[in-house]
Amino acid sequence: MNYQTYQPHPDLESIISCYWTLEVPAAKDVQRQRIVPDGTIEMAFILGDDIKRYTSEEEFIIQPRSMVLGQIIDPFYIEPTGTVNTFAIRFYPYGFANFVSVSLKDLAKTETPIEMLFGEETAKKLEQDIIQARDAQQRIEIIETFLQNKLNEKTIVSNIVSTTVDALLSTKGSASINDILEGNLSKRRQLERMFVKQVGISPKQLGKLIRLQSALKMLLNQEDESLTNIAYNNEYYDQAHFTKDFKEFTGVSPKEFLGNDNMALSSAFYK
């Protein structure tokens, strides 16, 4: 597995977390991979063979070749049908709202073909340009030109949403919405409404995902062998609270997550 990340242009670094590429050769014994929620939205281009996304134990769909992966709060399984070659853009929670007028709630829990968001002609050209690019760096140049042009056409995401997301990120998800808004109930109602539209999930759900992401990184990087310490360092009430949230978003316990072949891809993403 070859997973690489690349930083965006300074003009886009407040909106885009990173670009990433994933290359995995075809294998006879293919393992389904469990994808864990991380609170971000991604635009992905599948350059290799098709990838299945399981909707139940036996049923699956084939993911679109170019798509936007909306917010998820439940883990799901994917399985490659051959060689994996993917190029993707990982947006900050409020990042993608700067490029589309649709509510991001409508994109949640699914893969949306980019032609449904940007029009068939525009999407086809972008997809062909990405496919024909010689390497990841040229693909980044292509997508940054596309996004910068789109950014100039759209209204910037509301300040109340971006401020809340920034506060959650800076506190690893532990800041309370009440503290962020300084107890202003009218602002809270406005935030709840705008947040779901421009992020795709509620502020509370995003805070839980960000906190889990921080704990997962500690777990995977073996910064602390004690689950209790990891829990307290990420401001969970106790280990039981940490384990409960962990199972909610990953489907397994922290100990089951480590060394699980089905978690290899999610582990690479979180590291």
Q: Could you tell me if residue 187 is inside a domain?
A: no
**pLDDT tops 60 at residue 19:** yes
CATH classification of the domain holding 131? 2.60.120.10
pLDDT of residue 11: 87
The distance of Cα 87 from the centroid of its chain, to the nearest Å, equals 14
In a domain, 196, yes or no: no
Residue 245 covered by a domain: no
* Interatomic CA distance for residues 89 and 110, integer angstroms: 16
Q: How confident is the model at residue 29 (pLDDT cuts 50, 70, 90)?
A: confident
Q: In 3-state terms, what secondary structure has residue 46?
A: strand
Gap between the Cα atoms of 257 and 28, Å rounded: 24
Q: Please, where are the H alpha helices in 47-198?
A: 115-118, 120-132, 136-151, 159-170, 177-180, 185-198
- Digit-coded pLDDT (tens) for 184-240: 777 777 788 888 888 888 888 888 888 888 888 888 777 556 888 888 888 888 888
E strand map for the chain: 2-6, 16-24, 33-35, 41-46, 51-54, 60-62, 66-69, 76-80, 84-91, 111-113
Q: What is the mean pLDDT of residues 117-140?
A: 95
Condensed to tens digits (0 to 9), the pLDDT of residues 165-181 reads: 888 888 888 888 888 87
| Confidence tier at 62 by pLDDT (50, 70, 90) | very high
Predicted confidence (pLDDT) per residue in 140-151, tens digit = 999 999 999 887
pLDDT reading at 68 higher than 80: yes
Average pLDDT, the chain: 87
pLDDT in tens, 69-78: 999 888 889 9
Rounded Cα distance, 55 and 17, in Å: 28
Indicate the residue type of 143: I
**In this structure, is residue 116 part of a structural domain?**
yes
pTM (two decimals)? 0.84
Is 178 domain-assigned? no
Range of the domain at 73: 2-151
- What is the number of domains present in the chain? 1
CA 246 vs. chain centroid, Å, equals 17
Q: Is residue 261 part of a domain?
A: no
Per DSSP (E only), the strands in 97-180 are 111-113
pLDDT tens digits, 249-258 = 888 888 887 7
